[in-house]
Amino acid sequence: MSRIGKKPVEVPAGVTITVGKDNSISVKGPKGELKENLDRDIKVEVKDNAVEFSRPTDQIRHRALHGLYRSLVNNMVKGVTDGFKKELELVGVGYKAANQGNMLDLSLGYSHNILFEIPKELKVATVTEKGKNPIITLESTDKQLLGQVCAKIRSLRKPEPYKGKGVKFVGEVLRRKAGKSAGK
């Protein structure tokens, strides 16, 4: 049996979980509300401050979905209580980031600036200090959407292995390569 799927999701105070007839689950907390549609084979039960998941058989598909939906609901509970936060760092000469509302204006060494619209579910902030790299901070209750948007921003200029220039996560360790060595 799935180790992750067997473990119940603890529900903290202030969070309400409702399961619909069409096997959809809704998590409401202090930071917002998230919804997810579950597979009809996975059974969900809310028992005294815990959510338990069960599967009908040991088929590969059922085993995979069992742990998946437990993890998704756990992330939903964490999101509506604490929220998720990711920081991106722009490494490179002349790389800039600015935002007006949810419109992100990036200067990443191309001939033009890139205007990137952030979904309304996310909060964005940019910090530019003299002598330091610009940092983009994204916050959300939805971990999946946050990761997807961060990956899209990072893909606009991935860090290259020689000088490390590009958009990277704060704290990300890049694999570096040696440049050309002197001849003779």
pLDDT digit string (tens) for 88-107? 999 999 999 999 999 999 99
pTM: 0.88
pLDDT digit string (tens) for 23-64? 899 999 999 999 999 999 999 999 888 999 999 998 999 988
Superfamily of domain 3-81: Ribosomal protein L6 (3.90.930.12)
For domain 84-169, the CATH architecture is: Alpha-Beta Complex (3.90)
Nearest partner of 141 among 77, 75, 76, 79, judged by Cα: 79
SS3 category, 63 = helix
In order of 13, 123, 133, 160, 168, the CA distances from 89 in angstroms are 35, 16, 6, 14, 5
In angstroms, the CA 102 to CA 80 distance is 21
Strand partners, 103: 100, 117
Domain ranges of the chain: 3-81, 84-169
> Do the two domains 3-81 and 84-169 of this chain adopt the same fold?
yes
